[in-house]
Amino acid sequence: MIDHVILTVADFGRSVPFYEQALKPLGLTDVTDFPGTDGHPHLKGFGADGRWFLWLKEGVPCPNAVHIGLVATSHAKVREFHDAAVGAGATVKTAPGPQMQYFPGYFATWVLDPDGHDIEVVNKTGQVD
Per-residue pLDDT tens digits for 96-116: 999 999 989 999 999 999 999
pLDDT at 83 over 90: yes
pLDDT digits (tens, 9 = 90+) for 7-65: 999 999 999 999 999 999 999 999 999 999 998 999 999 999 999 999 999 999 999 99
* 94: CATH: 3.10.180.10
Question: Total structural domains in the chain?
Answer: 1
Nearest-angstrom CA–CA distance, 106 and 114: 26
**What is the domain range of residue 28?**
5-123
22 is a domain residue: yes
Question: What pLDDT score does 129 carry?
Answer: 79
Predicted pLDDT at 128: 84
- What gap in Å lies between CA 114 and CA 18, rounded to an integer? 8
